[in-house]
């Protein structure tokens, strides 16, 4: 029998909360930001498992499931929970899972049992990953200036609050649970954009590559998946791409027809997974799963409006 596959880091699903018209649940004033540790451009936060820890877990909006390293699972003596099929950058494979009895982040109430895929810590870039099964009913606020984040409960709002000064609001839709932004294009041709905080690089498919004007030669780049598999991509700086009212220029993109595009039905239309190399161009990124939206605070000196422009080449040279 063909067992459905689940998505893991650098791809993944974003299950969303049901659409319920209730009063909003604001981020509590006493919700403390959590200090971020950056490992290879991947952000980690302290997590407790069954009262033990804290352990450093990566926040990954591109993963359907919370994942734990085999090493940590062994240290904690977590029980086996069988095997599941997973899809990563390097394709589909079968991996074992373990039972996480409870999990806690400082700003999120205790979460009960999770059957988590167990993978090698070296491939994860941390002791584990917080996927959307953990964060689906929450709002994540990533402050790139202060290198902090906050996570708080969120509910579906009747209407979208107005954007703050310097802020861009982007609506998204759900495809197999994944947040996908459709208000994006290259020279008028629509592009689907997946927000992926678990990926250090932005990855585009061949359909997007054919659209984009290059600003230099491509170089081979090896991209490793969460299971350790390798994929060779064409890496280079591409021309203009619009996301809502923001125009990116000289954007670095790794082009490869990796498994997630086909899984989401995006293999034949221009699409990309927006990684941390692009997201860190902003001062703050808010991802609200319940309301299917993202908010981006523009860099200082860039005014909101139809002509908002971010030079990714300049941002990279400045190390921002």
Q: Indicate the range of 5-19, 31-45, 240-254 predicted with least confidence.
A: 5-19
Q: Tens of pLDDT along 236-269?
A: 887 788 888 888 888 888 999 888 888 778 888 8
Domains of the chain by start residue, with CATH = 5-138 (2.40.70.10), 167-318 (2.40.70.10)
In tens, the pLDDT along 139-176 reads 888 888 888 777 778 888 888 788 888 888 888 876 66
User: CA angle, corner 128, sides to 18 and 118, nearest 5?
Assistant: 95
Task: Give pLDDT tens digits for 187-217.
Answer: 788 999 988 888 888 899 988 888 876 656 7
First to last CA, the chain: 48
> Does 168 or 43 have the greater pLDDT score?
168
Core vs surface per residue 181-217: b (16+ CB within 10 A) or e: beebebeeeebbbbbbbbbbbbbbbebbbebbeebee
């Amino acid at each position: 029998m063909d067992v459905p596959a689940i998505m893991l880091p650098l791809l993944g699903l974003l299950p969303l909360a049901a659409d319920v018209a209730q009063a909003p649940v604001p981020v509590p004033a006493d919700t403390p930001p959590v200090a971020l540790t950056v490992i290879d451009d991947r952000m980690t936060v302290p997590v407790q498992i069954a009262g033990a820890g804290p352990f450093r877990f990566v926040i990954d909006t591109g993963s359907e499931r919370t994942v734990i390293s085999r090493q940590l699972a062994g240290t904690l003596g977590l029980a086996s929970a069988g095997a599941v099929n997973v899809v990563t950058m390097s394709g589909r494979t079968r991996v074992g899972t373990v039972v996480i009895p409870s999990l806690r982040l400082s700003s999120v109430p205790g979460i009960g049992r999770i059957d988590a895929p167990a993978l090698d810590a070296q491939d994860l870039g941390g002791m584990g990953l917080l996927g959307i099964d953990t964060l689906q009913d929450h709002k994540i606020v990533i402050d790139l200036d202060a290198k902090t984040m906050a996570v708080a409960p969120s509910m579906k709002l009747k209407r979208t609050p107005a954007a703050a000064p310097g802020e861009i609001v982007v609506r998204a839709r759900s495809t197999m649970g994944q947040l996908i932004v459709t208000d994006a294009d290259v020279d008028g041709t629509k592009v689907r954009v997946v927000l992926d905080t678990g990926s250090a690089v932005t990855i585009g498919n061949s359909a997007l590559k054919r659209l984009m004007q290059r600003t230099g030669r491509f170089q081979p780049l090896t991209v490793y998946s969460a299971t350790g598999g390798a994929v060779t991509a064409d890496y280079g700086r591409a021309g203009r791409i619009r996301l809502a009212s923001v125009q990116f220029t000289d954007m670095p993109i790794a082009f490869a027809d990796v498994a997630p595009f086909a899984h989401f039905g995006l293999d034949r239309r221009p699409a990309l997974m927006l990684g941390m190399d692009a997201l860190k161009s902003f001062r703050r990124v808010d991802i609200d799963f319940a309301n299917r939206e993202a908010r981006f605070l523009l860099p200082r000196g860039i005014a909101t409006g139809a002509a908002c422009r971010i030079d990714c080449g300049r941002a990279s040279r400045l190390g921002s």
